[in-house]
Amino acid sequence: MRPLLGEIRYFLAGSFYRMRYHELGSRKHPTVVCVHGLTRSGRDFDALAAGLADRFHVLSPDLPGRGASDWLPDASLYQPQSYVIALTHLLATLGERVMWVGTSLGGICGMMIASSPGAPISRMVLNDVGPMVPGRAIARIRDYMSVRPEFPDLLALEAHLRHVHAGFGPLSDAHWEHLTKTSARHLPDGRVALHYDPGIAKPIRTSLAIDTELWPWWEKINIPVLAIRGENSDLLLPKTFERMVQSGAMPHVVKDTGHAPALMDAETIGVVRSFLLEQDKS
């Protein structure tokens, strides 16, 4: 089941840009917005969307500079604040309350929005991210982003993805094939590149790899939260996860997985689905 492709326009730093999104499920159903991690795209949620589409209207945007969305002319704009501007344009266009699933960077954006007065997010899933991002994890991500994202063919690209995203968990060959095909941008000379603007790496390359505390945002969030953690994650540490749970988040740990669970396995999709369906009972 291939999602439909839609778009919104958002205004940033004096210009309008296009953000594309992938859509599955009837618009008559409650809307779930799924937002991907730093170097990924909305197509990462195809399996989750297929598992939700009978009861939900699922939108999975490509953040600015990724997938089918416009690249930004100034690489310094690739910051969470810019992504939040684009995402809140999407929320304003929808004009309704939504549920949110955010992996890593997508979860950070979700926390930024959900902590704001009047935010239209009613329920949130945070996939392997929390209110403290360790500097060591930032350094690891910075290191793999230093590799130029161009490869001779799809097989080489898949080998790269299996290496840098080993933390996604014990995925099947079909899952890796899907992630590879939806991560590829074909170049005129026959090679393939990753589906993002290489400029997205500039802000993280120039930033300090220090622990980043986001607890002030967390303390303002008063909606139900499902916190998912990869068992071996270096980004959502056990102490952070425990503190989130103690403050009311529902926990789920994905075994044999690091950063970040791919949300492709039936068990985790079932947990997310059950959590989102709880809204119908509240």
List, as one string, the DSSP characters of 21-70: EEEES-TTSPEEEEE--TT--GGGGHHHHHHHTTT-EEEEE--TTBTTSP
Question: CA–CA separation, 218 vs 26, rounded Å?
Answer: 32
Which of 141, 108, 124 is CA-nearest to residue 234? 141
pLDDT category at 281 given cuts 50, 70, 90 is low
Q: At what angle do helices 173-183 and 154-164 cross, to 10 degrees?
A: 110
Question: CA–CA separation, 111 vs 94, rounded Å?
Answer: 19
Average pLDDT (82-90) is 98
Residue 143, pLDDT score: 82
Percent of the chain, pLDDT > 70?
98
Report pLDDT digits (tens) over 157-210: 999 999 999 999 999 999 999 999 999 999 999 999 999 999 998 888 777 778
Res. 282: pLDDT tops 70: no
- For CA atoms 183, 201, 166, 51, the dihedral sign is negative
Q: Average pLDDT, whole number, for the chain?
A: 95
Question: CA–CA separation, 44 vs 97, rounded Å?
Answer: 23
pLDDT category at 279 given cuts 50, 70, 90 is confident
Average pLDDT (63-84) is 97
Res. 49: pLDDT tops 90: yes
- For CA atoms 211, 100, 2, 187, the dihedral sign is negative
Q: Tally the residues of the chain.
A: 282
Question: CA–CA separation, 4 vs 246, rounded Å?
Answer: 39
Res. 71: pLDDT tops 60: yes
Residue 280, pLDDT score: 59
Whether the CB-CB separation of 195 and 42 falls below 8 Å is answered with no
Residue 145, pLDDT score: 80
pLDDT category at 149 given cuts 50, 70, 90 is confident
Residue 153, pLDDT score: 96
What would the two tokens of residue 50 be? 């297929």
Domain ranges of the chain: 4-132+214-281
Cα angle vertex 185, ends 190, 59, to 5°? 160
Q: Could you tell me which CATH number the domain at 4-132+214-281 has?
A: 3.40.50.1820
Average pLDDT (34-45) is 97
